[in-house]
Structure formats: structure tokens, C-alpha cells
């Protein structure tokens, strides 16, 4: 059965085009992807991303459990800080990527991809041998991503939490729009700045309405998953299921910066060996030189027609008005400035390797 | 959504407007809405005869790509120059300025076999 978020009816009433995504009935666009994209880059927009999963890990062994399953070093977190990480599997791939929030020394809040909620739950549970209390609050929790340069201006009036000075990857919990216990973090997936607001489903409508009322003078708009994808791709952020998955190497995906060999974790040995042996492929960004739009699954070729990789994400960048993409290529072709050819409907179309973010 | 009565339609969401031996072809209002923001029309069949139901090009929206199917066997004469620089015309005016290609029909009578506006509307209403 397809799931709804707490606000599905509202999205339909707002004229959203709805699509099934990761088992949820989700808004893919309202006014149009380009318009929504520009709204987030220049002003402020709100995404209902309540399909995302949330787990609470609590107990004296919580940090040890997280350190075991996560690639990053969660011991570096302090209360009120967030960390990006991934869950490595034992075969060299990635179970999921996630955010880890430290509420207090013994309480952590994990935010995972909607498509992986069950898989992640089972995966972390498998390593929970020291009685950490795990709670899956995904079904009760709504998540709104308020993104764009005007985000702080809009949200500031709704809370006593000091959002204007909140540093990137920090969070606070407090009263928001008259609702207690709302968690607000300075995080997001757009590169446009902004916040993510976690609220119980029962209060979701109240919080959404308050945000839109406060945002009206700034031209706030609802934003769908379509623009979420173009925004994240302009920043070169990985999307699980496209750019990383159970079979892709996190090191080849460029996630070395959140892979901390200074501690032990699942498959640390395997990844260390891979790093020492040298990577075979690399996830690169590229821009099309000739006309055409790269799409997931298209082959990447060298100048002689040899297949050297595949496209994992691609779109027309609404900001640049150029076609951009990401894909894995053999290491010899990964250098900035290297010419690649994307096989678009069997025609090789010229592209060039560039270093993300595509939009600075 | 509009479905002009003077056009013929395909189940694949193209329309065709015949004048003598020639015709212009575009995609329907329904199609442009489904695709969303259109960013590129790729037609590489100019000068070629394309058989009925064969692909004569593709339409790229931000999120998706969709093939364009020839309603009846015809030779592609030209692509609408305006949509090259302004593909959004296909969204804004799918039956007017956002037309896609001009063709020479192999046999103008073939068009009679296509869907009427009412038939097409009934199909997309489902």
C-alpha cells in the first residue's frame, strides 16, 4: 500500500502533480520545476520530505553502536551537532547515507532515506548487541525542508530558537509556531542554505501554515521532489539509488571525507585495502559540450567509442541552462577537463569533466 | 486542458494539422503538462521519411525524456526554429507557437485513421 504524508491532501489541493516515490505518494512539482528551483535559489521554498525515515538510538551503548555501523566518527559530535555519514555494507558498497544528530551523550537521532527505512533498521539492529533502545519514529514524524537565502528571515519570527546565528550542521529543539518539541537543524540538500524542521504529524499542518504565513512577504512557495533533484544535482550531492547504492564503492563515490579509518567500523578493513590498492573508478561531474541531456544509465565513452563508465544522474541545470550530470568513469578519464562522450540514443555527445559543485 | 477540434491526435499524445500535402505536428496540452518544463527538442530526422508510429525525435523535459512518434508516414521538412531557443513555447502554446515539425505527407488520407479531438480527450480523461 502506498503511504501518504500528513499533508498529502494539502499538496493535491495546492495543485501538485503527485507521483509514487519510495512507497510514498509525493508531490513532484507544483508551479513547475524551473520556477520552483529558482524560488529556492533566490528566495525561499518548502519541501514536504516527510517520507524520510527517523530513528532514535538511546542508551549507554548508543555511541558504540553508531561508531560500529557508521563510516564517520560520531565521537566528534557534541550536543546539538549533526554529522553526515554512510552505512558501509560488508561487500564494499553502501547500505545508505544518513544524518546523525547528537541530542545528548546517550541519545542520537538518525535520518535515513525513505527507500531504505526497513533495510537500515534491520541493518543497525543486526549490530545492536549491547541493548541500545531503538525507536523508529518515521511514521509519526513530518519533515519540512525550508530552503533558500530567505529561510532564516521567514522562520525567525516563529521561534525563540536563534536560527539566524545557527551554524551549518547544528540544531536546536524548542517551541516553534506555538508547537513544543520541534527540532530545527541548519541542514538541507539544496546548497541554498536553510533549515529542516522535524515535527510530529499531528502538528504538521499547523507548522506548515505558520511557515507559509510568515513566508508570504518573501514569496515562499511549496517545492516538489523534481526541483529537489535539480537543486541537489547542481551541488553535486549524491542521491542514494542513483549515485550510490549497495554495489558502489563509497571511496569511488567521493565519500572518503566521511570515512574515518581512525576508528573501527563495518568493512573498514576492506575499504582501507581498496584505498591502498588505488581506486579503479571515480564518480565525476560533467557538463555537456554538445547538445543533449544525460540521464541515469546512459553509457559514458571515450573518444574511440570504448565504454568507460555510466551516468548515474543527469538533468538540465535550471540555474546554468546547461546539461549536467554525474557518473562513474575509469580513473584515467576522471581528471577535470577530460573529454567524455555520453551515448544519448546511441549517438556519442561530447561532454567535459568538471569539478562539482556545478553552481558555486 | 484544451483539445482543438480541427486537429487529429495520436494515442501517443501528438497532434497533426493538415493543410494540403503538408502538415505540422506537435504534442498535446496533456503531454506538455505531464512532461513539465520542456528544455530541448531533439529532432535528427529532417529530410528523412519516417513511417507511421516510428520515432522522429525526442522531447527532453527537466526530469524526463520522451520519444516523439510520427502520426502518419511523412517526410520531415523542418523543425520549428523558434523552439530551438525557446523550448518553453511548447509548454506555453502547444497547439500554436510551440509546434514541433513541418512534414510532407506520404498520403494525406492516412490522417483520417487518427483520433478525433473527442476520442483523444476521452482517452486522456481516464
| Candidates A315, A317, A322, A349, partner chain B, best to mutate (most B CBs within 10 A) | A315
Give start and end residues of each alpha helix (H) in A82-170.
Answer: 117-127, 151-156
Please provide the average confidence, as pLDDT, over all residues in chain A.
97
- List residues in chain B touching A: CB distance below 8 A: 36-37, 39-40, 42, 44, 58, 60, 62-63, 65, 91
User: Per-residue confidence at A346, pLDDT binned at 50, 70, 90?
Assistant: confident
How many residues in chain B?
126
Q: What confidence tens digit (pLDDT) does each residue in B28-49 have?
A: 999 999 999 999 999 999 999 9
* B62 closest CB neighbour out of A17, A230, A347: A230
CA distance A33 to chain B (A): 7
Q: Which residues of A touch B91 (CB under 8 A)?
A: 32
Q: What confidence tens digit (pLDDT) does each residue in A161-201 have?
A: 999 999 999 999 999 999 999 999 999 999 999 999 999 99
Q: What is the pLDDT of residue A140?
A: 98
Q: What is the pLDDT of residue A127?
A: 98
Q: What is the pLDDT of residue A234?
A: 98
As a whole-number percent, the residues of chain B with pLDDT over 90 amount to 94
Section A293-308 average pLDDT: 97
CA distance A357 to chain B (A): 19
CA distance A68 to chain B (A): 38
Section B85-113 average pLDDT: 96
Rounded to two decimals, the pTM is 0.94
What is d(CA A169, CA A80) in angstroms, rounded to the nearest whole number?
9
CB-CB contact of A318 with A235 (8 Å): no
Q: Do A33 and B58 touch (CB under 8 A)?
A: no
Q: Which residues contact A325 (CB under 8 A, 6 or more apart)?
A: A233, A285, A286, A288, A294, A311, A312, A313, A314, A315, A342, A351
Q: What confidence tens digit (pLDDT) does each residue in A98-115 have?
A: 999 999 999 999 999 999
Q: Do B42 and A292 touch (CB under 8 A)?
A: yes
Q: What is the pLDDT of residue A1?
A: 85
| Candidates A226, A288, A325, partner chain B, best to mutate (most B CBs within 10 A) | A226
Q: What confidence tens digit (pLDDT) does each residue in A226-249 have?
A: 999 999 999 999 999 999 999 999
Give one DSSP letter per residue of A9-48, joined into a string. Answer: HHHHHTTPEEEEETTEEEEEESS-HHHHHHHHHHS-EEEE
Section A304-330 average pLDDT: 97
What is d(CA B6, CA B20) in angstroms, rounded to the nearest whole number?
14
Section A311-325 average pLDDT: 97
Section A48-69 average pLDDT: 98
CB-CB contact of A82 with A172 (8 Å): no
Pairing verdict, β A339-344 and A94-104? unpaired
Q: Do A316 and B65 touch (CB under 8 A)?
A: no
Residue B55, pLDDT > 70, answer: yes
Q: Do B36 and A318 touch (CB under 8 A)?
A: no
Q: What is the pLDDT of residue B126?
A: 63
ipTM of this complex: 0.83
Q: What is the pLDDT of residue A191?
A: 97
What is d(CA A70, CA A60) in angstroms, rounded to the nearest whole number?
17
CA distance B110 to chain A (A): 29
Q: Do A318 and B62 touch (CB under 8 A)?
A: yes
CA distance B53 to chain A (A): 17
Section A303-332 average pLDDT: 97
CB-CB contact of A152 with A211 (8 Å): no
Amino acid at each position: 500500500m502506498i503511504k501518504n504524508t500528513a499533508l498529502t491532501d494539502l499538496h493535491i489541493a495546492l495543485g501538485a502533480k503527485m507521483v509514487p516515490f519510495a512507497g510514498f505518494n509525493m508531490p513532484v512539482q507544483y508551479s513547475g520545476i524551473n520556477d520552483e528551483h529558482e524560488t529556492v535559489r533566490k528566495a525561499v521554498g518548502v519541501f514536504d520530505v516527510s517520507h524520510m525515515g527517523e530513528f532514535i538510538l538511546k542508551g549507554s551503548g548508543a555511541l558504540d553502536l553508531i561508531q560500529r555501523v557508521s563510516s564517520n566518527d560520531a565521537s566528534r559530535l557534541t550536543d546539538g551537532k549533526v554529522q553526515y555519514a554512510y552505512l558501509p555494507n560488508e561487500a564494499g558498497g553502501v547500505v545508505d547515507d544518513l544524518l546523525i544528530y547528537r541530542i545528548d551523550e546517550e541519545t542520537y537521532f538518525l535520518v535515513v532515506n525513505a527507500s531504505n527505512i526497513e533495510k537500515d533498521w534491520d541493518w543497525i539492529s543486526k549490530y545492536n548487541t549491547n541493548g541500545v533502545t531503538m525507536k523508529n519514529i518515521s511514521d509519526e514524524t513530518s519533515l519540512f525542508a525550508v530552503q533558500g537565502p530567505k529561510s532564516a528571515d521567514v522562520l525567525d519570527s516563529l521561534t525563540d530558537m536563534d536560527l539566524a546565528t545557527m551554524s551549518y550542521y547544528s540544531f536546536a529543539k524548542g517551541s516553534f509556531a506555538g508547537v513544543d518539541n520541534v527540532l530545527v537543524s541548519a541542514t538541507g540538500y539544496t546548497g541554498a542554505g536553510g533549515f529542516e524542521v522535524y515535527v510530529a504529524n499531528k502538528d504538521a499542518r499547523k507548522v506548515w501554515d505558520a511557515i507559509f504565513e510568515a513566508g508570504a512577504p518573501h514569496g515562499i512557495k511549496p517545492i516538489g521532489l523534481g526541483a529537489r533533484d535539480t537543486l541537489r544535482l547542481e551541488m553535486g550531492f549524491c542521491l542514494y539509488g542513483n549515485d550510490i547504492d549497495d554495489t558502489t564503492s563509497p571511496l569511488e563515490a567521493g565519500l572518503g571525507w566521511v570515512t574515518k579509518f581512525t576508528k573501527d567500523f563495518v568493512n573498514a578493513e576492506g575499504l582501507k585495502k581498496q584505498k591502498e590498492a588505488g581506486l579503479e573508478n571515480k564518480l565525476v561531474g560533467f557538463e555537456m559540450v554538445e547538445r543533449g541531456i544525460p540521464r541515469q544509465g546512459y553509457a559514458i565513452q571515450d573518444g574511440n567509442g570504448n565504454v568507460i563508465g555510466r551516468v548515474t544522474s543527469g538533468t538540465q541545470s535550471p540555474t546554468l541552462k546547461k546539461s549536467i550530470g554525474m557518473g562513474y568513469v575509469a580513473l584515467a578519464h576522471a581528471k577535470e577537463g577530460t573529454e567524455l562522450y555520453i551515448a544519448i540514443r546511441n549517438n556519442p555527445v561530447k561532454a567535459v569533466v568538471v569539478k562539482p559543485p556545478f553552481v558555486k | 486542458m484544451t483539445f482543438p477540434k480541427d486537429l487529429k491526435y495520436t494515442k501517443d499524445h501528438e497532434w497533426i494539422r493538415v493543410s494540403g500535402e503538408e502538415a505540422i505536428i506537435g504534442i498535446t496540452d496533456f503531454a506538455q503538462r505531464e512532461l513539465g518544463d520542456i528544455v530541448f527538442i531533439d529532432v535528427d530526422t529532417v529530410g528523412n521519411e519516417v513511417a507511421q508510429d516510428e520515432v522522429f525525435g525526442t522531447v527532453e523535459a527537466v526530469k524526463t525524456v520522451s520519444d516523439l512518434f510520427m502520426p502518419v508516414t511523412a517526410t520531415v521538412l523542418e523543425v520549428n526554429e523558434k523552439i530551438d531557443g525557446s523550448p518553453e513555447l511548447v509548454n506555453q502554446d502547444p497547439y500554436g507557437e510551440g509546434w514541433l515539425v513541418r512534414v510532407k505527407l506520404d498520403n494525406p488520407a492516412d490522417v483520417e485513421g487518427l483520433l478525433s479531438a473527442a476520442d483523444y480527450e476521452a482517452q486522456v480523461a481516464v
